[in-house]
Structure formats: C-alpha cells, structure tokens
Amino acid sequence: MLRAASGSTAGHPGPRRDPSRPSVLPVPSPGTTSATLLLNATFEPLCVVSSRRAIVLVLADKAVPVDSAADVVHAATVSLAVPVVVRLTRYVRVPYPSSVPLSRRAVFTRDGQTCVYCGGSATSIDHVVPRSRGGTHTWDNVVAACRRCNHTKADRSLAELGWALPHPPRTPTGAAWRLLGHRTVDPRWREWLGMPESVSA
Ligand SMILES: [Zn+2]
C-alpha cells in the first residue's frame, strides 16, 4: 500500500480526501503555474489566461506550447506539461487601447518600485505638480514615491524644494504594458514581454 509521496493522485479514482479540488488539474506541486501568457501567432503578447484555459487551447490545436513548467497534466488520453507560455496557431486581430490605464501598480512598475526622488522603496503615488495646484492625474504627472518624500513634498512644487526628477514621467507604451495592470508577471514571461529583468510587477 505504500506509495511514493509525490502528492499526486491523478488518474486514481479512489481517494475522496479532497472533493473540493478541481478534477482536471493534478494536485499542484511547488512551481505549478496557474496563469499562462498567451501570445498571438506573431509572438506578440496578447493577454494572461488561466493555465487550464491554455491547456484547453493546446488540446484543441488552437495554440502550441512555447514554454512549459515541469508539472504535467494528465487528461483522458494525453499528458501535457503545464504551459507557461502558449502561442495561438492562427493570428487574431486585436484592437489595442491607445493608452495604458493609469493604476497604482502600473506606476510602481514603470518606476521600478522605487521612489523617483530618493531611490527608496516606493509606497505611494505622488503628483509632481500637486493636485491642489492644478496638477492632473495623468501619466506625465504621476510618479512612485516613498512616504517620507511624499510627506515632505506635500503641496510644494519641485522648484520650491530644489528637487529634480531623473527624467520626465512618461506614458508607457507597448503590448507588454497592457498585461501589467492586473497580474503578477511570471519571470518566465519576461523575454516575451520585452521587459528588463529588474522590473517586477
Ligand atoms: Zn523618497
């Protein structure tokens, strides 16, 4: 009765230890991915889908695995490594929004999670031109800042403080940025997203 303690009971119909667990995916092991980066046929990043959705696409020949995890899913007749990145077999036309939605996470990502004023760890969003002075809540006026700098700056302008920005805040562009507002970025997606290693979401 002794079994290897792999933690996997896939393919074994007997045990009813965990009826709440979804039946398609095996017992997740460390490193199992739950999200998959979906690329267009042209390798352009499209969106993030659940790994289960990606597996369905692959099994339906609508996508092919580009990068896979070590974990293997056992379906009725096939075994498939859990895909980390998949590419559609046919090109789909997708209308792109002209601008990246402005969000706290997206600003933190653009600014590398660091305060633009002191280089410390960013914990807040600062309006370069204070809103009380007509500053807008737009990409070119919003930066990541630490609490201390934000508090010190308050409603003053950079000129009044003698502070300077390392570079003007810019609106991020590109397909990769559309994926950042709502997801943690798997390191294995980076080469497809055209992101530097140091940037984390
Ligand atoms: Zn700071």
Centre of ligand 1 to C-alpha 149, Å, is: 4
39 burial (CB, 10 Å; 0-12 / 13-18 / 19+) is buried
Å from CA of 137 to ligand 1 middle = 20
Report d(CA 72, CA 74) in Å as an integer: 6
Cα 25 to Cα 178: distance, rounded to the nearest angstrom:
28
pLDDT of residue 17: 41
Q: What is the pLDDT of residues 39-65, one digit of tens each?
A: 999 998 888 899 999 999 999 999 999
Domain of residue 192: give its range.
1-95+173-201
Tens-place pLDDT, residues 90-148: 999 877 666 678 889 889 888 888 999 999 999 999 999 999 999 999 999 999 999 99
Residue 83 lies in a domain: yes
Mean pLDDT of 69-82: 82
Shared-domain flag, residues 24 and 116:
no
Q: Which residue has the tokens 């096939």?
A: 78
Compute, in angstroms, the gap from residue 110 CA to the centroid of ligand 1: 16
Measured in angstroms, how far is the CA atom of residue 197 from the centroid of ligand 1? Answer: 23
Least trusted range by pLDDT, from 27-41, 113-127, 153-167: 27-41
Which of 177, 111, 112, 182 minimizes the C-alpha distance to 140?
Answer: 111
| Inside any domain, residue 68 | yes
Give 57 Cα–ligand 1 centroid separation in angstroms. Answer: 45
CA of 187 to the centre of ligand 1 (A): 27
Decide: 120 and 195 in contact? Cβ < 8 Å. Answer: no
82 shares a domain with 9: yes
The DSSP call for residue 22 is: -
Neighbouring residues of the ion ligand 1, judged by CB less than 5 Å: 115, 117-118, 120, 146, 149
The answer to whether residue 179 scores a pLDDT higher than 50 is: yes
**Does the pLDDT at position 20 exceed 60?**
no
DSSP 8-state symbol, 23: S
Give residue 190 CA to ligand 1 midpoint distance, Å: 28
Q: How far, in Å, is the centroid of ligand 1 from the Cα of 146?
A: 4
Strands 63-74 and 79-88: antiparallel
- What is the chain's length? 201
Q: Please count the structural domains in the chain.
A: 2
Is 140 in the same domain as 193?
no
65 lies in the same domain as 132: no
- Only one residue has tokens 């570079």, namely 167
Report the separation in Å between the CA atom of 178 and the middle of ligand 1, taken as the mean of its atom positions: 27
Which residue has better confidence, 9 or 133?
133
For 96, the token pair is 């792109």
* Same domain, yes or no: 109 and 130: yes
Write the DSSP assignment of 80-134 as a string of letters: EEEEEEEEESS----PPPSSPPP-HHHHHHHTTTB-TTT-SB--EEEESS-GGGT
Ligand 1 centroid to Cα of residue 118, in Å, is: 4
Compute the distance from residue 151 Cα to the ligand 1 centre, in Å: 9
The reported pLDDT for the residue numbered 150 is: 96
pLDDT of residue 23: 40
